[in-house]
Amino acid sequence: SQELEQSPQSLIVQEGKNLTINCTSSKTLYGLYWYKQKYGEGLIFLMMLQKGGEEKSHEKITAKLDEKKQQSSLHITASQPSHAGIYLCGADPKAGTASKLTFGTGTRLQVTL
């Protein structure tokens, strides 16, 4: 079965600093989803990447997919307190299915003033 490892597990950054979260898969990545979660709440969709080399941005968040390395990264520029939360990556196990996702254990981000 596919496993996703996220690094770092937790991160504390000062407001205004940049940061990167990585998600590495044990198997080929066919579709990679990034979600954000506040404690005790549901998952908020951020971005989905499908093709190797694909890069997407939304506001100050950029995600990239490196198919060869079976890895995705999430980069936040000029972090703000509103970016605090748990970031989760989820992967599609098969090409062309969108059936179920396997998730990493999450990266906990704190942004200090």
Partner 1 sequence: DTGVSQNPRHKITKRGQNVTFRCDPISEHNRLYWYRQTLGQGPEFLTYFQNEAQLEKSRLLSDRFSAERPKGSFSTLEIQRTEQGDSAMYLCASSLPRAGNTIYFGEGSWLTVV
Which residues of this protein are in contact with partner 1, per CB under 8 A? 4, 30-31, 33, 35, 40-45, 48, 50, 88, 90, 92, 95-106
Least separation in angstroms between residue 113's CB and partner 1 is 26
Three-state secondary structure readout of 27-82: CCCCCEEEEEECCCCCEEEEEEECCCCCEEEECCEEEEEECCCCEEEEEECCCCHH
Closer to partner 1 by CB, 45 or 78: give it.
45
Q: CB of 5 within 8 A of CB of 64?
A: no
Closer to partner 1 by CB, 18 or 45: give it.
45
Least separation in angstroms between residue 37's CB and partner 1 is 9
